[in-house]
């Protein structure tokens, strides 16, 4: 027994010594590791000092540079806001947040904000830009923005948005284009499902009139789509966004720009009207532009996929006017169908390949009829508009309707559209409403709210239907169980 106790005490002592040695070894390792880290830091610090840096690591320097750029950008943006306030009015803010700007829209290039003039309550939409593309030089960026401004500032027409100014920060990091504000988004109106047929025809003709003004003055828009149309409180549609414009007749453009400079001197509607009438008479007495005989063709893809004409997707040059006509036809189809006819005008797209196929009808194994050729699309739109849309969607651009052909088509000609006319009695421009219709105007936020409510209601109906189906099923199961018993 005594021997056993002795062995146990010896074993315990050995274990204690082993634990002590292990702890001391760990302490030595920790101290050596700390010493190594301290020596390493000292070497790095010495290298930084000898290298002339002695400030921060690369990541810290990068963070510091980013912070400095952010401060500069905020300063430039603030400078633009000060210019806006002094020249046009105060920037509008969110109702529930006085510090947050009221943003009308957000894009890759920047945001569109709202400015209100205190003297008369006139509203301006201000498109703020900042340099985004790293591959784009500062010179190219400024040139692009100046080009867009010079074009849009020269456009005086009821169906084209008017642009007032291009503001720049001192360091030219921030730019802003000041335009008239239109409260209603055309895309949202179409998605609301409220548009009647006569409203649709009215808007279609207004788009054509806006495009006619551009084409007769040497421009093609090249990015016509639902998103680039806005509506005034009186139902007047205006085309916006001239970043993709193609000039096919420089002579006509120069004439337009010189006329626009004179129009800008007008201080009221009466002066503006007198200058416009005088210019129109001079134009009628002058020589016709050579644009109809020789034009500068466009190259490259500009616009959104579903609206692009097939020739735009090829590598060759094309007539930008014909591409605009195609896009307007797609807009009309979107309004009527509430969807795009196809995703892209290319043979790989099933819907488009069916449209360009030889006219035929096939019945599948299930007895369903499939229509091929142009009638596949045309049968889905109102019969009175089929002729103009068929010719606007002609695959050969040379055979496609021109803007004058579109306006002279019997369907378009007979359409009563809302327009802006001169009132000799009141001595100002007034809106003349089209016959047989009134406009359903609803904001994007209201549309989003309505669509959300519809979605919720649909979900509830689906749940109720499922519940109705479950109860009878349970009753049948119970009955079957009773029968078995």
For 182-249+295-442, which CATH superfamily applies? Transferase(Phosphotransferase) domain 1 (1.10.510.10)
Rounded to the nearest integer, the mean pLDDT of the chain is: 82
Q: Is 459 marked within a binding site?
A: no
User: Is 51 noted as a catalytic residue in this protein?
Assistant: no
pLDDT, tens digit, 9 for 90 and up, residues 308-321: 999 999 878 999 99
Q: What percent of the chain has pLDDT over 90?
A: 37
- pLDDT exceeds 50 at position 29: yes
Buried residues in 271-304 as b, exposed as e (16+ CB within 10 A): ebbebbeebeeeeeeeeeeebeeebeebeeebbe
pTM: 0.78
Given a contact cutoff of 8 angstroms between Cβ atoms, the answer to whether 440 and 197 are in contact is no
Binned at pLDDT 50, 70 and 90, residue 469 comes out as: low
163-168 and 123-130: which strand pairing?
Answer: unpaired
Domain pair 13-46+73-181 / 182-249+295-442, same fold: no
- pLDDT exceeds 60 at position 291: no
Annotated active-site residue in 185, 223, 249, 319: 223
For domain 13-46+73-181, give its CATH number from 1.10.3720.10, 1.10.4030.10, 3.20.20.540, 3.30.200.20.
3.30.200.20
pLDDT, tens digit, 9 for 90 and up, residues 329-359: 999 999 999 999 999 999 999 999 999 999 8
Read off the tokens for 354: 């069916």
CB atoms within 10 A of CB 358: 6
* Cα–Cα distance for residue pair 466/459, rounded to 1 Å: 11
Given a contact cutoff of 8 angstroms between Cβ atoms, the answer to whether 409 and 212 are in contact is no
* Cα–Cα distance for residue pair 319/332, rounded to 1 Å: 21
CA 410 to chain centroid: 33
Q: Where are the domains of the chain?
A: 13-46+73-181, 182-249+295-442, 453-484
* Cα–Cα distance for residue pair 157/214, rounded to 1 Å: 9
């Amino acid at each position: 027994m005594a021997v056993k106790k002795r062995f146990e005490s010896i074993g315990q002592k050995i274990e204690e010594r082993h634990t002590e040695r292990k702890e001391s070894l760990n302490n030595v390792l920790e101290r050596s590791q700390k010493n190594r880290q301290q020596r390493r830091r000292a070497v790095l610090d010495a290298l930084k000092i000898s290298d002339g840096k002695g400030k921060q690591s690369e990541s810290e320097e990068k963070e510091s540079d980013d912070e400095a750029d952010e401060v500069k950008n905020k300063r430039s943006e603030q400078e633009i806001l000060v210019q806006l306030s002094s020249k046009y009015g105060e920037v509008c803010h969110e109702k529930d947040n006085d510090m947050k700007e009221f943003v009308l829209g957000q894009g890759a290039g920047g945001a569109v904000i709202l400015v209100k003039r205190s003297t008369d309550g006139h509203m301006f939409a201000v498109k703020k830009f900042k340099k985004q593309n790293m591959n784009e030089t500062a010179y190219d960026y400024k040139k692009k923005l100046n080009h867009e401004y010079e074009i849009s500032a020269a456009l005086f027409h009821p169906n084209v948005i008017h642009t007032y100014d291009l503001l720049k920060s001192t360091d030219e990091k921030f730019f802003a284009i000041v335009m008239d504000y239109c409260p209603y988004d055309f895309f949202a109106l179409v998605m609301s499902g409220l548009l009647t047929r006569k409203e649709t025809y009215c808007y279609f003709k207004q788009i054509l009139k806006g495009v006619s003004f551009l084409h007769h003055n040497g421009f093609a828009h090249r990015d016509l789509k639902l998103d680039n149309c806005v509506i005034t409180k009186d139902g007047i549609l205006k085309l916006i966004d001239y970043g993709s414009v193609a000039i096919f007749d420089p002579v006509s453009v120069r004439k337009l720009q010189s006329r626009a400079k004179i129009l800008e001197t007008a201080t009221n509607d009466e002066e503006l009207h007198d200058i416009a009438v005088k210019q129109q008479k001079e134009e009628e007495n002058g020589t016709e532009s050579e644009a109809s005989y020789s034009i500068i063709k466009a190259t490259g893809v500009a616009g959104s996929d579903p609206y692009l004409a097939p020739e735009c997707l090829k590598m060759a040059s094309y007539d930008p006017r014909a591409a605009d006509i195609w896009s307007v036809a797609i807009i009309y189809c979107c309004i009527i169908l509430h969807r795009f006819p196809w995703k892209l005008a290319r043979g790989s797209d099933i819907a488009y390949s069916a449209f360009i196929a030889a006219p035929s009808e096939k019945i599948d194994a299930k007895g369903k009829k499939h229509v091929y050729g142009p009638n596949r699309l045309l049968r889905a739109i109102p019969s009175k508009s089929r002729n103009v849309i068929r010719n606007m969607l002609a695959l050969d651009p040379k055979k496609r309707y021109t803007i004058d052909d579109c306006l002279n088509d019997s369907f378009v000609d007979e359409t009563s559209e809302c327009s802006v006319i001169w009132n000799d009695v009141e001595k100002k421009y007034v809106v003349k409403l089209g016959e047989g219709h009134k406009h359903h105007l609803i904001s994007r936020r209201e549309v989003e709210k309505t669509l959300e409510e519809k979605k919720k209601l649909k979900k509830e109906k689906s749940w109720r239907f499922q519940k109705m189906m479950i109860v009878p099923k349970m009753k049948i199961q119970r009955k079957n169980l009773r029968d078995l018993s």
